[in-house]
Structure 1
Amino acid sequence: MSAESRAAQAVLSIETLVYYGLKQQPFAAEAPDAFIYSDAALDMAVNATANYLDNNEHGIVVKGEPGIGKSTQIRRLLQRLRGRFNTCVLAATVTTTLAEIEHRMVECWHPQEAASQTEEGWLCNLLTRGLRPVLVIDDAHQLSADVLEELFRMQRQIRERCGRAFGLVLFGESSIEHQLSAIEADVPEAAGCHSILLRPLTREQIAAYIDHRLRTAGLFMDNPFTDQDIAQIHEDTQGIPAAINPAATRILEAHGQAEIQRERAGQQGWLKQHRMAVILGALTLLLTAGLLWLLQGYIEEDSGLPPPPAETRRAHQPLEVPPPPSLARASEETVKPAPGQTPQAPAAASPAPTLPTQATERPSAPASPADRTRAGQAETAAPLPETRPEPAPVQTPRVSARKTREAATGAAGEQRADRDAPSAPKPKQPAVPTPPVPDKPPAARRPLVRSIAGLKPPAWLLQQDPKAFAIQLVAVSEPAGLARIARELRIDRTLAWYHRTRNGSTLYVLVATPYASRSEARQAIARLPASLRRSGPWVRPLKDIQDIIYAQ
């Protein structure tokens, strides 16, 4: 969508909406009731219409130039009459007939007797039951003179039959006066209509209208429209609201795009000024990373480092596991000689399993047959312990790679020989119970701060009037941040603090109070520094803050 088409439809671009923090289009033609601007001068037309309906039953004509805001006045009138009158709204066209108007009245007031009685009959029943029906017709200038004449005749017939008639309000352009003048001779009620003229907005009303729409859409910073902008809009639109909306959209879009381009140019200018510094910084980081990578590889490949301390080597020594009791007894029986025979050396036992180690142990010399015999006799004489003793760690000497391979080859041969020989069954070891893992103690909670220098405590907030309002400025996790912000802030209200806990974390909130009304607090937000307004300060009733303090 081009800028011209957006301005014609009173639609701002996404970039402009984001820059000004607007939550929706401020000058859209179809907007919620909250966007309707009102003041004492604009209320005169609605108040006069309501007074005429209360005091008499003559027709009422509300007229104005195209785009003057007649549909908006109808919405305000319906809000004013709600609860006292039974209103029915109809948008007329050049082809609208009296039958269509009667059908619309039945749809609005839906009497059960409308199907079996004449129109005057069921309308009289409604009036008798105390209802106060009012028919409001928008764009009534498009009705023909014949339809207007029949409508006024029906109103007169109901008044003559029932003593009362339904209210009739016609909204249209100034040309409706020609249709009414054409039927005055035949229908005197047309000449007795009350006429209300809607006037264009003044320059001051235009400024208030634009500011109201911007604030309702979510603007929290200063109003970007200058006095020259307001004067230009008043001159171009002559105060017609339908023309004010696209004109204000066009000016706001131009201001927003200019500010966005100025910020982008500032960022690009900073990059141009510091381009060499950024390049040198990036090169320095790359060189540092490369040097660290090369240094790490050099350290890993270096084999001439000194050996680790004796304590470190001893901590990594493997534990020697003694053979099971069944193998010890089997070796004892093998070592015992028969009567009259010469003792023979027993077969070599399989090496005891060891845990993996960083250094390879040097194989020890095999014991003599006599030593093995004496060891077997000693084992027979002494009973076997129930638990295996844990041998003391033995320091392993450093050996060369060649000797390590020879020792590994010899140990592998011995393991294959032992694997071929029959082995005794291994006894079952008792299961060792696993000690319970203690629960991790809960993390200690940080103590809450009771006072912050220069700020009123939460107890002071509880003493204030709950009907007042406060500005919530900022919320931080550290109380020192509130004290720093408060020292730099210049505001004509008392600064106080309170804390609240959310998802297990504590936030310290800075507020300014008291304000007598919400509008006064909003005006104070507009006077805050721009850096603080970007954090999104907002107005909240003081009672809500007191409820949070009481709940904690």
Structure 2
Amino acid sequence: MYESHYGFTEKPFQLSPDPRFFFASNHHQRALSYLQYGLDQGEGFIVITGPIGTGKTTIARNLLSQLGDESIVAAQLVTTKLDPHELLALIVSEFNIKAKGDKKADLIQAIEQFLVELNRQGKRALLIVDEAQNLPAETVEELRMLSNFQRDNKPLIQSFLLGQEELKPIIQAPNMEQFRQRIIASAHLKPLSVEEVKEYINHRVHQAGCERDDLFSENAFELIHEKTLGVPRKINIFVDRLLLFGFLEELDVIDSEAILSVAEEMEVELTGSLNNKALDSTEPSQPMVVNSTENVEHIKEVLRDVEEILESSIKEKVKMARYVDKLLKHKSKQYAMENIENSED
């Protein structure tokens, strides 16, 4: 929508991970270095953890895009809560391994034969497990058992685990000592600092074809950091909306006023709730007494919140209508110019 207005050749803040837009902050570069070190070692486990949206999957995609070593056969799993049998079945599927049956013994035998054949070809397997915090402890242990497949004292498969912070207590449990001893490196991703937010935004803007360094006012980056907490995924969502807002308002520069306006519109999306309070409660639910003063006030507050949401939705629809109108005028002008050029020919 806003690409041509600001001189982009593509959307700079799309949510899907794209190695071309990888930004190497200090923490991300360290994590990537650990992954590359692990590749060089060819054994053990590398564990990368971090909060939601800090770029763990992007790092994995960047690593896979840089693999110029044809001796490494890689597969990436994005897991849910898999039991050991389901994990083995998914590994068989992702590596395109043919198994005689679907029993656990059949899957393990097929995986071992596949790994041995890779070794004969001078190759080895790399397994990247994303969202690994969803794996039960017994499934993580199954990964460790797979690392026991060796030939000439060299492991036939290597695993990288990428997960949210909940992965830490799973690995730190007393019964995971053997697994911990196989970890050769680990790193924890953190949100970006204010300076890194500025570098991150400018990097993606330039990568998308816009050469401007003044698209955002100087004080904009600190405010964007405040609203997104430096989380890359939230930055992508927020700045994408900022650019759309700037296009609809015909802004040449995104300033603090625009940021505050969009932040107010996106409060629910950025905080995850209307009032930024926890939604879960350990207290047992109580029946509501409608005629109590306290509950009447609560209902009024809820209705006010609903009214605000509806008003915000209407504003968004109005802006979209303005955008469509502007787009139609632009297309009409282009069509008229083409007709003039054709008539002159």
Show the 5 A alignment for 1:388-467.
none
Q: CA deviation at 1:151?
A: 1.9
Residue 129 of structure 2 aligns to a residue in which SS? strand
Residue 192 of structure 2 aligns to a residue in which SS? coil
Which residue of the other structure, out of 131, 139, 152, is the alignment partner of 1:147?
A: 139
> Taking CA–CA contacts closer than 8 Å with sequence separation of 6 or more, which of the two structures ends up with the larger relative contact order?
2
Matched, 1:42 2:28: yes
Matched, 1:218 2:209: yes
Which residue of the other structure, out of 20, 38, 41, is the alignment partner of 1:52?
A: 38
Show the 5 A alignment for 1:188-207.
188-193=178-183, 194-207=185-198
- The number of aligned residues is 245
CA distance in 2, matches of 1:34, 1:238: 24
Residue 23 of structure 1 aligns to a residue in which SS? coil
Q: CA deviation at 1:163?
A: 4.2
Matched, 1:90 2:80: no
Matched, 1:71 2:57: yes
- In the other structure, the counterpart of 2:224 is 233
Q: CA deviation at 1:236?
A: 1.9
Q: Report if aligned partners of 2:83, 2:139 keep a CA contact under 8 Å in 1.
A: yes
- Give CA-to-partner distance per residue, 1:487-546, whole Å, 9 cap, x none: xxxxxxxxxxxxxxxxxxxxxxxxxxxxxxxxxxxxxxxxxxxxxxxxxxxxxxxxxxxx
Residue 147 of structure 2 aligns to a residue in which SS? helix
Q: Which amino acid aligns with 2:172?
A: S
Which residue of the other structure, out of 8, 13, 21, is the alignment partner of 1:27?
A: 13
- Give CA-to-partner distance per residue, 1:389-432, whole Å, 9 cap, x none: xxxxxxxxxxxxxxxxxxxxxxxxxxxxxxxxxxxxxxxxxxxx
- Are residues 212 and 41 of structure 1, via their aligned partners in 2, closer, same or farther at CA, if it must alter by over 3 Å? same
Query: Whose helix proportion is higher, 1 or 2?
Result: 2
- Are residues 219 and 31 of structure 1, via their aligned partners in 2, closer, same or farther at CA, if it must alter by over 3 Å? farther
- In the other structure, the counterpart of 2:164 is 173
- In the other structure, the counterpart of 1:413 is none
Q: Report if aligned partners of 2:50, 2:164 keep a CA contact under 8 Å in 1.
A: yes
Show the 5 A alignment for 1:114-513.
117-156=109-148, 158-159=149-150, 163-182=154-173, 184-185=174-175, 188-193=178-183, 194-259=185-250
- Give CA-to-partner distance per residue, 1:237-278, whole Å, 9 cap, x none: 22110111122234334444444599xxxxxxxxxxxxxxxx
Q: Report if aligned partners of 1:114, 1:122 keep a CA contact under 8 Å in 2.
A: no
Q: CA deviation at 1:196?
A: 1.2
TM-score normalised by length of structure 1: 0.40
TM-score normalised by length of structure 2: 0.62
Q: CA deviation at 1:216?
A: 2.7
Q: CA deviation at 1:68?
A: 0.5
Residue 155 of structure 2 aligns to a residue in which SS? coil
Q: Which amino acid aligns with 2:208?
A: A
Q: CA deviation at 1:197?
A: 1.1
CA distance in 1, matches of 2:231, 2:128: 23
Residue 88 of structure 1 aligns to a residue in which SS? strand
**What's the RMSD between the two structures over aligned residues?**
2.9
Larger Rg: 1
- Give CA-to-partner distance per residue, 1:68-94, whole Å, 9 cap, x none: 011111111112334242111111002
CA distance in 1, matches of 2:41, 2:214: 43
- Are residues 17 and 110 of structure 1, via their aligned partners in 2, closer, same or farther at CA, if it must alter by over 3 Å? closer
- Are residues 36 and 52 of structure 1, via their aligned partners in 2, closer, same or farther at CA, if it must alter by over 3 Å? closer
Q: Report if aligned partners of 2:78, 2:130 keep a CA contact under 8 Å in 1.
A: yes
- Are residues 130 and 234 of structure 1, via their aligned partners in 2, closer, same or farther at CA, if it must alter by over 3 Å? same
CA distance in 1, matches of 2:95, 2:39: 18
Q: Which amino acid aligns with 1:137?
A: V
CA distance in 1, matches of 2:252, 2:31: 45
Q: Report if aligned partners of 2:78, 2:131 keep a CA contact under 8 Å in 1.
A: yes
Q: CA deviation at 1:47?
A: 1.7
Percent of pairs with identical residues:
27
Q: Which amino acid aligns with 1:90?
A: L
Q: CA deviation at 1:200?
A: 1.8
CA distance in 2, matches of 1:119, 1:150: 13
Residue 224 of structure 1 aligns to a residue in which SS? coil
Q: Report if aligned partners of 1:152, 1:187 keep a CA contact under 8 Å in 2.
A: no
Question: Could you list the runs of 4 or more consecutive aligned residues of structure 1 that deviate by over 4 angstroms after TM superposition?
Answer: 111-118, 160-163
Residue 185 of structure 1 aligns to a residue in which SS? helix
